[in-house]
């Protein structure tokens, strides 16, 4: 759990000052219904960790999930287009981490995100950004919002290089949270859409970043997300994926973290049992390499779309 996934005509134009916020379809949960859903979930599932999270945030003022964002004139960052219905797996399994506004208030803390990653947030986010640094003068797609300062650093690098960044997420509450973190001058567009059904043109991005998203998705959603990413990234473009992996046999967290992941994130252990490469589109021609971190618990997969045959270079 780290991250939290427009209509094409709305996406096509670059936003300039002053910003105009196009209307988008509100998601299915209001603040009141989110509270009711949370209570019902807790009663039905008796999840002690989720119960603790909800109790810790129960005194926070409600924040409507469907509220729009007020943008100051002259900004470059805007939410554009129309939002999709929230996928059922998010409301069923991740309401406590991403969907409920109180969860956003709780988890949007740099120290907490770093704690969840066992002190590896700076190392992993830095490793991802270092792969993209040389090509940030082009267009970059980030699939799903991320807690912490990763996107601020990504957009800052793109701004310095004269590039642009699009961030897609199916949860407007996450996009609103991200918008509150970004400076008005950031060269960023926030696009409400499902990662598994990107309403974006083919071969339109030079880079793509997927940071701790795949482990949260059911297999079918994960495969469709990767297929969509390969569709929208240009030949020669780079795709950087950072996520969980199967830790070494001697790693103590293999025997502690595994059961906790199984309880809180029911799809996460897929990345312990299978290789991300096995979910890549079979028709794609690509070159890829992998780097492991923290005793194998985390991995960085760097994929380059190309015309040559698939190859492998291990950096461990």
Q: What is the mean pLDDT of residues 157-180?
A: 97
Residues whose CB is less than 8 angstroms from the CB of residue 41 and which lie 6 or more positions away in sequence, other chains included: 47, 50, 95, 96
Q: Supply the mean pLDDT for the chain.
A: 80
Say how far apart CA 245 and CA 294 lie, in whole Å: 10
Structural domain contains residue 153:
yes
Residue at 252 is within a domain: yes
- Sign of the Cα torsion 96, 4, 88, 302 reads negative
How far apart are alpha carbons 77 and 238 in whole angstroms? 24
d(CA 30, CA 64) in angstroms, rounded, equals 6
pLDDT at 216: 97
Task: State the average pLDDT over residues 11-35.
Answer: 38
- Judge contact between 309 and 284, C-beta under 8 A: no
* Count of structural domains within the chain: 1
pLDDT of residue 156: 97
pLDDT of 11 over the 90 cut: no
Contact 179, 68 (CB under 8 A): no
Residue 71 located in a structural domain: no
Tell me which of 191 and 305 has the higher pLDDT. 191
Q: Is the pLDDT of residue 58 over 70?
A: no
Whether residue 299 lies inside any domain: the answer is: yes
Over residues 26-37, the mean pLDDT reads 45
Domain interval for residue 178:
78-86+109-314
Identify whether 72 is part of a domain.
no
What is the pLDDT confidence band of residue 48, given thresholds at 50, 70 and 90?
A: low
pLDDT at 34 over 70: no
- Helix ranges restricted to H, the chain: 8-12, 31-45, 48-56, 88-93, 101-107, 110-116, 121-132, 150-161, 172-181, 219-232, 253-264, 270-273
Within a domain: residue 186? yes
Give percent of the chain with pLDDT exceeding 90: 67
Which pTM was predicted? 0.78
Res 239 pLDDT > 90? yes
Q: Per the domain annotation, does 205 fall within a domain?
A: yes
For residue 220, the domain's CATH number is 3.40.50.150
Q: Express each pLDDT in 243-264 by its tens digit.
A: 999 999 999 999 999 999 999 9
Contacts of 92 (CB under 8 A, 6+ apart): none
How far, CA to CA in Å, does 32 sit from each of 27, 61, 69? Answer: 13, 12, 19
Residue 160 has pLDDT above 60, yes or no: yes
Q: In this prediction, what percent of the chain has a pLDDT beyond 70?
A: 70
Q: How large is the average pLDDT for residues 41-61?
A: 52
Question: Residue 30: inside a domain, yes or no?
Answer: no
Give strand pairing partners of 271: none
């Amino acid at each position: 759990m780290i991250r939290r996934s427009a209509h094409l005509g709305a996406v096509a134009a670059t936003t300039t000052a002053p910003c105009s916020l196009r209307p988008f379809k509100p998601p299915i949960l209001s603040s009141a219904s989110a509270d009711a859903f949370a209570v019902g979930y807790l009663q039905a599932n008796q999840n002690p960790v989720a119960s603790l999270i909800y109790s810790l945030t129960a005194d926070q003022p409600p924040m409507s999930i469907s509220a729009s964002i007020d943008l100051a004139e002259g900004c470059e960052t805007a939410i554009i287009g129309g939002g999709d219905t929230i996928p059922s797996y998010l409301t069923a399994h991740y309401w406590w981490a991403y969907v409920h506004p109180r969860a956003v208030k709780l988890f949007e803390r740099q120290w907490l995100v770093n704690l969840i990653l066992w002190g590896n947030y700076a190392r992993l986010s830095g490793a991802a950004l270092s792969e993209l640094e040389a090509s940030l003068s082009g267009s970059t797609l980030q699939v799903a919002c991320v807690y912490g300062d990763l996107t601020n650093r990504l957009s800052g690098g793109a701004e310095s290089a004269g590039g642009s960044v699009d961030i897609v997420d199916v949860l407007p509450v996450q996009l609103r949270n991200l918008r509150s973190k970004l400076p008005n001058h950031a060269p960023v567009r926030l696009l409400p859409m499902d990662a598994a059904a990107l309403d974006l043109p083919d071969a339109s991005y030079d880079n793509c970043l997927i940071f701790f998203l795949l482990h949260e998705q059911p297999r079918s959603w994960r495969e469709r997300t990767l297929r969509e990413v390969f569709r929208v990234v240009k030949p020669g473009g780079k795709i950087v994926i950072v996520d969980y992996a199967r830790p070494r046999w001697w790693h103590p967290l293999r025997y502690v973290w595994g059961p906790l992941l199984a309880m809180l994130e029911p799809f996460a252990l897929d990345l312990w049992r299978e290789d991300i490469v096995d979910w890549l589109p079979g028709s794609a021609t690509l070159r890829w390499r992998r780097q492991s971190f923290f005793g194998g618990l985390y991995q960085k997969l760097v994929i380059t779309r190309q015309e040559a045959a698939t190859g492998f270079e291990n950096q461990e």
